[in-house]
Amino acid sequence: MAFWDKFSETVSSKSKEVADKAKEIAEVTSLTSKINTQESLIEKYFKEIGRFVYEHKEEQCDNGLEERFKLVDAAYEEIEKLRKDIRKIKGIKLCDSCGAEVASDVAFCPKCGTAVPEEIPEEVQAEEVREVPVEDAAVVESAPETVEAPAAEAVEEKAE
C-alpha cells in the first residue's frame, strides 16, 4: 500500500506543478499580449502625431521638417500616378463627384449619376512633324531637333 500512496502523492505533486506551470505560462502570455497591445497603440499614436504634424505643416514654425514634408508630398504624388496607371490598365476612371471607379467608356457614374468627362490623353500627338532643310540649319541652330509644322513654316519665312 505504501507504494500506491507514494505513487499517488507523486502524481498529485507533479499534476500540481504542471498546473502551476500552465498557469504561469498563461499569465505571462496574457501580460505579453497586453504589452504588444500597448506597443501597437504607441505606434498608432506616433503615426497619428506624424500625420497631424504633416497635415498642419503650414501652421508649423520652422522646425526642420520641410524636407521630409517634400518627401511625403512626392511619395503621395507617385502613389497617385501609380494608381492612375493601374486605372488606365484596368480601363477605368474616377467620377469627379463621388470618386467611384467607373468604366472608361461610361458617360454617367452608375453610383451618383453625374456626367463623367472623357479623359484627355496625356500625350498629345503632333499633327505633322517636318524636318528643316539643311540650308536653313544656321537659322534654326537654337531650335529643337523636331519642330511642329506651324513653327517650321515661321522659321522658313524668316530665312527668306
pLDDT tens-digit readout, 8-57? 888 888 899 999 889 888 888 888 888 999 999 999 989 998 898 888 88
Question: Same domain, yes or no, for 20 and 38?
Answer: yes
**Euclidean distance between CA atoms 136 and 140, whole angstroms:** 7
Residue 88, pLDDT above cutoff 70? yes
Within-domain flag for 5: no
Element (H, E) at 101: strand 101-103
Lowest pLDDT segment from 56-70, 77-91, 119-133: 119-133
* Residue 104 · residue 95 · CB < 8 Å: no
Long-range residue pairs from 154-159, CB within 8 A, at least 24 positions apart, any chain: 156/132
Q: What are phi and psi of 97, to 5 degrees?
A: -85, -55
Same domain, 33 and 65: no
When divided into structural domains, the chain yields a total of 4
pLDDT surpassing 90 at residue 142:
no
The parent domain of residue 152 ranges over 129-159
Mean pLDDT of 119-136: 52
CA distance 90 to 32: 45
Does residue 125 register a pLDDT over 60?
no
The pLDDT value recorded for residue 37 is 92
| Domain contains 3 | no
